[in-house]
A and B are shown apart, each in its own frame.
Chain A
Amino acid sequence: MKAALILRMMRRRKKETQMRLVSLSALYAFCTLLLFFQGSFMASETERRYETYGAWTGAVYDAPKDAEELLQSNETIDVLGHIRITEPVENFPAGSMDNAALDLSRIRVERGRLPTAHGEFAAERYALAALGNPVIGETVLIHQNGKEREMKFCGILTPWTQNWKTSGPLPVILLSETETADPSTEILLWSAQTQPFMDDLYDILDSSGGNYVYNEFGQTNPFQGSFLDSYEILIPIAVVALLVTLYALFAILPGLRFRFSLLRSLGASPWNGAAMMALEAAALFLASLPLGLLGGATVAAVSLFAATHWLTMPLRFSVDIELLSSALVLVTIMHFVEQITAGLWFSQTSMTASLRRENAFLREGTLPKLTHIRKLGFVGRCLRRRSFWHRESLLRSGLCIVVVVALSINFATIIRGRNGYRHAENSMLYSYYLNIHDTKNGLNDTEINELRSIDGIVDVEVRSILRYQETIGYGWDYKPILLRSSKFADDTYITGLRNHSGIKDLPAGEDYFPVRSIRGIPEENEEFLQAFTSHSNESQFDIESFFAGESCILILPPYKKDFSSLAFTGEIGLSFVQDENLDEDPSSITTYPDDENALHPGDTLVVETPDGKTAQLSVASILRTAAVVNGFGGSAGILVSEAFWNRIEPDAAGLYNDVLLTSHRDADFKHVDWLVEDALQRMIPELHDFSSVVCQYNNNRIGFEDDARRELDTAVRAGVYSAVLLILYTLLIIAVSIAAAERLRYRTGIYLALGATRRQSLYEAIAESSVGVIVSIAVGGILAIGFFAIELWKTYRFLDWEGLVEAFCGRNMIYGSNLIYLAAAAATVTVVLLIHLIVDTLPLWKIHRESSADLWRS
């Protein structure tokens, strides 16, 4: 057969060709959209992380020439700089650095300028203190290399940032270039926005015997080995491609079957069929690919543009060409294989069976009585219809219920994963913990916002504290600390005390003693878990030797599981601390050992809540504190449940006492400290009693990286699965609706023939469909709410009604899990309703235009 004829036939089979064209274009668009989203997300995230954490940086001491050349030729390296170290000045490392290295070293000139001429120097505060705190412009007598000389002080530098902590000797006194013409050490610094491939460099450095240090600072790569960063992301595309091509095939089967049978009866060979399908597939491919690519990229660009402008999220427009081309090839292959297989398959089918015309539908149909339409009530009428309970309607309702539940769970997972990612990521940053001891003062919302605007602060979290009317033992500030999971609400049920004013009695049992996770150690490390849990007392367990000195933080229950007087567990930020008291048999601990005002389980104490009320807490268990619980520079005195904590609001004046600041990558903590102190003194001149602690979580970065990657993957996977689910659902609903539309056409035709108005028949159809969808969404919603209720119960099971109301409506929700579920439910209902609205309404408008005879003859 001529190609032109095949193409002409395709063109004339308008509906079928359009459907195939649309489905294939949509498939290409889906690939393009998904991969543009993925690429854009990764590009934006990489950029954001660069802004937050800074670049990958490295320092190479006495770098050989070829190493420098290699670095220069490495495309991933953005900046290179040199530091030259001379003999120490006043025992401080001294030297000079070029402008690039100055940026890389994150040295800031606080006052004055950098040295430019012979005999000038700039220094940071520690060095200046040793030199007698000279003022700028003053000439100072200094010792260098055993000699005394006079130098002019020209600038104050900021202290070294934390990234140099593990580096070798870096200058704290800067000299001019002319002073370091013959340096004793030369250090090469580099910086890259994305992680460079360093193996080549290491090979050269190793072979040259150079003394190098690779100092990596601030960057993490949560994508490495992630679902996002691998070809694994093509799996959902393959699944969708399979679904779409199968759907397209099944949708064209009746026409295809007839056409092929007829052609074969006229003498077409099997190969004619395959060739015909191949040609059709090629034509479809050529038409669909640009459409899909353009459409997908356009939608991605518009979405990203809208997100950037409306949600104020800076999103880049980017795609990984390799991934995109792989996806397009995958889809194209699938399309061709499917079409040619269909061609071969139908060429082999029986001609006689295919040519037999069947219309089971007409045989099955019965004429409804018009009187029934008018007699029954609206919903009842729909429900009593035979058609309502027909298999298509039931199938559609069943699908609707399933998808509502699945989507709700998925959407909640997306939000939770995204928040978990941010949370874990923030844990990798440095924190600045501000505690206001002054009971008369605190920070209000305006002041909090001012702190938030300080350069170098990326996040501010506020808390209020309980105040005690009794001294209860040792521990930092004698105040309760909410120890939280690095994950989310369902992982945090930390309880140390039970509260009689709103929190139910804690159920006893082993619920409180699972080993949740072990930081730095993969959870699958069965060897460790087995070794650990087999010990009745972990103090006998030689943890250090087990980890062979590897840095890690252990998250573990402090005592063996059957020690019922202790009641806290979970990921509570425990770190292993050497403590001789661990040798003590934990079962013997019933009081705080060193406290004259010791508490016992069952004792009560009264606390003042920030809103000025009092709450009575009952001691549920005694904790080993200082040795085991690692708070900020000390330990928690009291642990309260998160449920209780969530009920604590700022005091009556709306003031907060605890502020947790998370710093920016470039932030120098001392600099931040100064800025915060300055801001506080400006805002609250009478505030004097506060303390601040800088916390660096970076030593546990591997664990948090794992968390971040896991949470991110969870969110993205849930997102992709939702997309796949929606596509599958839409296809199924379209398929069911096509089947239902045939019945509807016939019924509408008969109604019209019997005297019903078009409006009446249309109204009936829409009403019936709407009732079905609403009933299904309601049933799905109830099931989803049931699921969420179980989830929420895990978090809020200790709350009475009053506490529940506060937890849901109070403004001190830290994790906002209730909002997650509400948002998930709203998004699900909206999406499902939209799908139904579109899919159900389209065929109705077509039916509405057709004549009665055409309709019932179908």
Chain B
Amino acid sequence: MATVLKAENLHKDYPNHGETVQALRGVDMTIEEGRFYAIVGRSGCGKSTLLHLLGGFDSPTSGRVLLDDEDLFQLSDVAQAALRRRKLGFVFQAYQLLPELSAEENVRLPLWLDKGSGDEQWIDALFDQLGLSKKRMRFPSELSGGEQQRVAIARALVAKPRLLLADEPTGNLDRGNGQAVMALLKQMNVSFRQTILLVTHDSDAVSYADTVLKMEDGRITSKEVLQ
């Protein structure tokens, strides 16, 4: 299987009241195409930090991230932004939808940023798959938490990214909605061979992954292939 993303010896330090906190202490990992990864670990072990580095939201103290063999942090801001638009999708715990845009506009936003109109069939399919066909024109404030998260997933997938990064996507949802969202992600992984990297501490969510990476103290301490 082709490698989508590779992290090499990632370190991330944060200054904190005069001291340095080492959030990541040399993370090496490889993400292969079509797989569903889950990163688990206790709060503060560096899961979200790792995800932010992999998405290029933050820069590492040292180490590198290769997305399709391109070093993310060697790219200019503009190139990095373009890469993020086309190859990465991100799902946040708190949905992070723009309240002034309708569900459909939120979904289309990455395409507009890329000055393209996108694949209409794919957009329709997404809305169908996510059960949002009848709510495309609704605004986030008119949607439930689960629906908002589904819109966020649709937005992350609309540009057909190489990798979908999800940061605690069920964290703000009740159990039922959480399971539904995870089922959708799994469906995307299976139906469209969408590569997914999930950060969670929800054991239910972990069960949807096929590979589980365990983090402790800023390091990946184990890798378990479930399927």
A837 CB to closest chain B CB (Å) equals 32
If the complex has contacts A12-B101, A272-B113, are A267 and B86 also in contact, measured as CB distance less than 8 A? Answer: yes
> Which of chain A's residues have a CB closer than 8 A to the CB of B99?
12-13
Contact of B58 among A262, A268, A350 (CB under 8 A): A350
A779 CB to closest chain B CB (Å) equals 39
Considering only residues 160-197 of chain B, those with a C-beta below 8 Å from chain A are none
Cβ-based interface call for B110 (8 A): yes
A465 CB to closest chain B CB (Å) equals 78
Residue in A266, A347, A351 whose Cβ sees the most chain B Cβ within 10 Å: A266
Contact of B100 among A9, A265, A272, A352 (CB under 8 A): A9
Assembly CA distance A355 to B51 (angstroms): 14
Assembly CA distance A9 to B98 (angstroms): 9
Considering only residues 267-322 of chain A, those with a C-beta below 8 Å from chain B are 267-272
Which chain A residue shows the least CB distance to B58? A352
Flag if B100 contacts A13 (CB, 8 Å). Answer: yes
Cβ-based interface call for B66 (8 A): no
B112 CB to closest chain A CB (Å) equals 5
Which chain A residue shows the least CB distance to B89? A266
Cβ-based interface call for B84 (8 A): yes
Residue in A258, A264, A269, A350 whose Cβ sees the most chain B Cβ within 10 Å: A269
Cβ-based interface call for A259 (8 A): yes
Contact of A267 among B48, B85, B105 (CB under 8 A): B85
Cβ-based interface call for B78 (8 A): yes
If the complex has contacts A12-B101, A351-B57, A352-B57, are A267 and B110 also in contact, measured as CB distance less than 8 A? Answer: yes
Contact of B78 among A258, A269, A351, A355 (CB under 8 A): A269
Assembly CA distance A351 to B100 (angstroms): 20
Flag if B155 contacts A266 (CB, 8 Å). Answer: yes
Assembly CA distance A543 to B196 (angstroms): 97
Flag if A271 contacts B112 (CB, 8 Å). Answer: no
Assembly CA distance A258 to B94 (angstroms): 12
Cβ-based interface call for A1 (8 A): yes
Assembly CA distance A264 to B112 (angstroms): 13
Cβ-based interface call for B135 (8 A): no
Cβ-based interface call for B96 (8 A): yes
Flag if B113 contacts A270 (CB, 8 Å). Answer: no
> Which of chain A's residues have a CB closer than 8 A to the CB of B100?
8-9, 11-13
Flag if A268 contacts B57 (CB, 8 Å). Answer: no
Flag if A2 contacts B82 (CB, 8 Å). Answer: no
If the complex has contacts A1-B113, A5-B112, A351-B58, are A271 and B78 also in contact, measured as CB distance less than 8 A? Answer: yes
B159 CB to closest chain A CB (Å) equals 8
Flag if A269 contacts B98 (CB, 8 Å). Answer: no
Contact of A262 among B82, B86, B96, B159 (CB under 8 A): B96
Cβ-based interface call for B24 (8 A): no
Flag if B82 contacts A267 (CB, 8 Å). Answer: yes
Considering only residues 53-89 of chain A, those with a C-beta below 8 Å from chain B are none
Flag if B85 contacts A266 (CB, 8 Å). Answer: yes
Assembly CA distance A269 to B99 (angstroms): 21
> Which of chain B's residues have a CB closer than 8 A to the CB of A357?
94
Considering only residues 1-47 of chain A, those with a C-beta below 8 Å from chain B are 1-2, 5, 8-9, 11-13
Assembly CA distance A600 to B222 (angstroms): 111
Cβ-based interface call for B8 (8 A): no
Assembly CA distance A350 to B58 (angstroms): 7
Cβ-based interface call for B126 (8 A): no
B218 CB to closest chain A CB (Å) equals 16
Which chain B residue shows the least CB distance to A354? B57
> Which of chain A's residues have a CB closer than 8 A to the CB of B155?
266
Flag if A259 contacts B98 (CB, 8 Å). Answer: yes
Residue in A258, A264, A272 whose Cβ sees the most chain B Cβ within 10 Å: A264
Which chain B residue shows the least CB distance to A4? B112
Flag if B78 contacts A266 (CB, 8 Å). Answer: no
> Which of chain A's residues have a CB closer than 8 A to the CB of B159?
267
Cβ-based interface call for A778 (8 A): no
Contact of B82 among A8, A264, A269 (CB under 8 A): A269
Task: State the total of A-B contacts with C-beta under 8 angstroms.
Answer: 76
Considering only residues 318-351 of chain A, those with a C-beta below 8 Å from chain B are 347, 350-351
Flag if B92 contacts A267 (CB, 8 Å). Answer: no
Which chain B residue shows the least CB distance to A270? B77
Cβ-based interface call for A204 (8 A): no
Cβ-based interface call for B214 (8 A): no
Considering only residues 190-208 of chain B, those with a C-beta below 8 Å from chain A are none
Cβ-based interface call for A589 (8 A): no
Cβ-based interface call for B114 (8 A): yes
Cβ-based interface call for A752 (8 A): no
Which chain B residue shows the least CB distance to A272? B113
Assembly CA distance A272 to B110 (angstroms): 12
- The 8 A CB mask of B127-146 against A (1 = contact, 0 = none) is 00000000000010000000
Which chain A residue shows the least CB distance to B114? A267
A53 CB to closest chain B CB (Å) equals 61
> Which of chain B's residues have a CB closer than 8 A to the CB of A265?
55, 57, 84, 90, 96
Assembly CA distance A11 to B101 (angstroms): 10
A755 CB to closest chain B CB (Å) equals 28
If the complex has contacts A1-B113, A12-B101, A352-B57, are A267 and B81 also in contact, measured as CB distance less than 8 A? Answer: yes
Cβ-based interface call for A263 (8 A): yes
Cβ-based interface call for B52 (8 A): yes
Which chain B residue shows the least CB distance to A258? B96
Flag if B105 contacts A5 (CB, 8 Å). Answer: yes
Flag if A1 contacts B112 (CB, 8 Å). Answer: yes
> Which of chain A's residues have a CB closer than 8 A to the CB of B90?
265-266
> Which of chain A's residues have a CB closer than 8 A to the CB of B112?
1-2, 5
Flag if B98 contacts A262 (CB, 8 Å). Answer: yes
Residue in B98, B155, B159 whose Cβ sees the most chain A Cβ within 10 Å: B98
Which chain A residue shows the least CB distance to B86? A267
> Which of chain A's residues have a CB closer than 8 A to the CB of B57?
264-265, 350-352
If the complex has contacts A12-B100, A12-B101, are A266 and B77 also in contact, measured as CB distance less than 8 A? Answer: no
Cβ-based interface call for B65 (8 A): no
Which chain B residue shows the least CB distance to A265? B90
Flag if B52 contacts A352 (CB, 8 Å). Answer: yes
Flag if B101 contacts A9 (CB, 8 Å). Answer: yes
Assembly CA distance A263 to B109 (angstroms): 8
Flag if A266 contacts B110 (CB, 8 Å). Answer: yes
Flag if B92 contacts A269 (CB, 8 Å). Answer: no
> Which of chain B's residues have a CB closer than 8 A to the CB of A5?
105, 112
Assembly CA distance A266 to B114 (angstroms): 10
Flag if A269 contacts B86 (CB, 8 Å). Answer: no
Which chain B residue shows the least CB distance to A11? B100
B80 CB to closest chain A CB (Å) equals 8
> Which of chain B's residues have a CB closer than 8 A to the CB of A270?
77-78, 81
Considering only residues 60-116 of chain B, those with a C-beta below 8 Å from chain A are 77-78, 81-86, 88, 90, 92, 94, 96, 98-101, 105, 109-110, 112-114
> Which of chain B's residues have a CB closer than 8 A to the CB of A351?
52, 57-58
Assembly CA distance A258 to B97 (angstroms): 10
Assembly CA distance A397 to B57 (angstroms): 42
B52 CB to closest chain A CB (Å) equals 5
Assembly CA distance A181 to B217 (angstroms): 114
Flag if B58 contacts A266 (CB, 8 Å). Answer: no
A378 CB to closest chain B CB (Å) equals 39
Which chain B residue shows the least CB distance to A16? B100
Flag if B82 contacts A266 (CB, 8 Å). Answer: no
Flag if B84 contacts A266 (CB, 8 Å). Answer: yes
- 4 A-B pairs with the lowest CB-CB distances in the bound complex, closest first: A267-B85, A12-B100, A269-B81, A351-B57
Sample of 19 more A-B contacts, CB < 8 Å, known A267-B113, A355-B96? A1-B112, A8-B100, A8-B105, A12-B99, A13-B100, A262-B98, A265-B55, A266-B109, A266-B113, A267-B81, A267-B86, A267-B88, A268-B81, A268-B85, A270-B78, A272-B81, A347-B77, A351-B58, A352-B58
Interface residue ranges, A against B (CB under 8 Å)? 1-2, 5, 8-9, 11-13, 258-259, 262-272, 347, 350-352, 355, 357
- 27 residue pairs from A and B, CB less than 8 Å apart: A2-B112, A5-B105, A8-B105, A9-B101, A12-B99, A12-B100, A12-B101, A13-B99, A258-B96, A263-B109, A263-B113, A264-B57, A264-B81, A265-B55, A265-B96, A267-B85, A267-B113, A267-B114, A268-B85, A269-B81, A269-B82, A271-B78, A272-B81, A347-B77, A350-B57, A355-B94, A357-B94
